[in-house]
Structure 1
Amino acid sequence: MMGKIFQIGGISLIVITLFTILSLLVVGYEPQDQSPGLWLTGELATEDVADWSFTEQHEEIFVQTRSPWLIPHSVTTYCATYNDSFYLFSAYYGGGDFPDLRRWNKNVVRDPRVRLKIGDQLFDQTLSYIDDESIRTPVHQAFVDKYPQWASPGLENVHIFQVL
C-alpha cells in the first residue's frame, strides 16, 4: 500500500515539474530588478544590428545566459555605447573576485553566447570581456555619462563586456 502511494506521489511530482517547465518555456520568467529570471520572451530579431545607438533610450536591458545545467539564467543590467560599439557592465559594489560574485558573469566566461532583450526585441549575441584599460576607461565614462545618478564603485570594480 505504501509503495503505491509513493509511486503515485512520484508520478504526480514528475507531471507537475514537467508542466511547470513547459509553462515557463511558453511564457518565460523574466528578471525583476535584482531578482534573476529564466527564459526571456519577445520577438527574435532576424537582422544583424549595425547601429546600437537605439539602446541609449533604454535604462536597463535583460541578459539571458546559459547555465551549466541547461536552464537559462537572466538578469537586468545597464548598457551604453561607445565608438559605435555596444557594452554591458556588471558592478561589484562591495569588491570581490570576478567572475565569482555574479552567476551571469560566470556563465558568460564559460559560454559567451547570450540572448539580450531590449524593449520587446530579442537579440542572440556573443559577449567579450574587456580587460584593456585603454578601452575600459572611456567605456566606463560612457556609463557614467548615461547614468548620472549611478554611483560607480570605481573602475576596478566595474566589469565590462562588449557585445560582438
Structure 2
Amino acid sequence: MIKPVLKGIAVLLIMTIGTLLGFYLNRSDPWGRIPGKRLPGEEVTESIEDWSFTQQARGVTLEVRPSAPYSINASCLFHDGAFYSLATSIENRWVQFLLQDPDIRFRVGGKLYKGRATVVEDPELINDLFETLSQKYRGGVDRTPEQKARYRFIRIDSR
C-alpha cells in the first residue's frame, strides 16, 4: 500500500522538477528575481530624443551582455530629461556585465529599445536621483548613507 503511494509521489515530483527545469531553460523574460535571456519583441529603431514617455513606467526590463543575453527587471526613473535604472549593488551580476559592455537592450511600456548604459558617479546627481526615486515610489526609499553607498544609478542613453 505504501509503495504505490511513494511511487506516485516520486513520479509527481520528477514531473514537477522536469516541468520547472523546462520553463527555466526556455525562459526569455526574467521572472521575479530569476534572470531571463534575450528579450523577445520588435525593436524600435528610431533614436530616442524625448524620454518623457518613461515617466509613467513602474519598471524597466534590461538585457545586458549581447553575446549571451542576460535580462533582469529593475526600478527606473525619469529625471531632468534623462532615463535611469537602479541597481542595488555594483556587485550585481548584470551590473558587472554592463561594465564590461555598456550596450544594452531595454523594454519600457511593451516596446524594445537599444541603449547604452553608464554608471552615475556624480554625488550631487545621485542625491537628486534618490529624491526623485522617493517621490516616484513613495516610501521605502529612505535609506541610510551606508545603504545608499551600495546602490548605483545607471543612466540609459539611446543608441
Shorter-chain TM-score above 0.5: yes
Query: 134, 144, 152: which is aligned to 1:144?
Result: 134
Q: Using structure 1 for the length normalisation, give the TM-score.
A: 0.73
State, as a whole percentage, how many aligned pairs show the same letter: 23
- Equivalent residues of 1:39, 1:74 under 8 A apart: yes
Q: CA RMSD in A?
A: 2.0
Match of 1:39 in 2: 38
Distance in 1 between residues matched to 2:42 and 2:34, nearest whole Å: 23
Once residues 111 and 141 of structure 2 are traced to their aligned partners in structure 1, the CA distance between those partners, rounded to angstroms, is 29
Q: 1:84 & 1:151 partners in 2: Cα distance?
A: 22
The 2-side partners of 1:152 and 1:126 are apart by 29
C-alpha change, 1:35 and 1:149, in structure 2 (3 Å) is farther
Question: Which of these residues, 102, 106, 118, is aligned with residue 116 of structure 1?
Answer: 106
Assess if the C-alpha contact under 8 Å between 2:133 and 2:141 holds in 1: no
Q: CA deviation at 1:152?
A: 4.9
Q: Which runs of no fewer than 5 residues in structure 2 stay unpaired? A: 1-21
**Deviations 1:118-142 (CA, angstroms, capped at 9, x unpaired):** 1221110001111110111101211
Aligned residue number for residue 73 of structure 2: 76
Number of equivalent positions: 131
Runs of 4+ in structure 1 displaced over 4 angstroms?
none
User: Residue 83 of structure 2: which of 72, 83, 86 is its match?
Assistant: 86
Indicate whether 1:160 and 2:137 are aligned: no
The gaps in structure 1 that reach 5 residues or longer are 1-19, 93-97
**Closer, same or farther in 2 for the Cα pair 1:86/1:30, shift >3 Å?**
same
- TM-score in terms of structure 2 length: 0.75
In structure 1, C-alpha distance between the alignment counterparts of 2:156 and 2:28, rounded to whole Å = 23
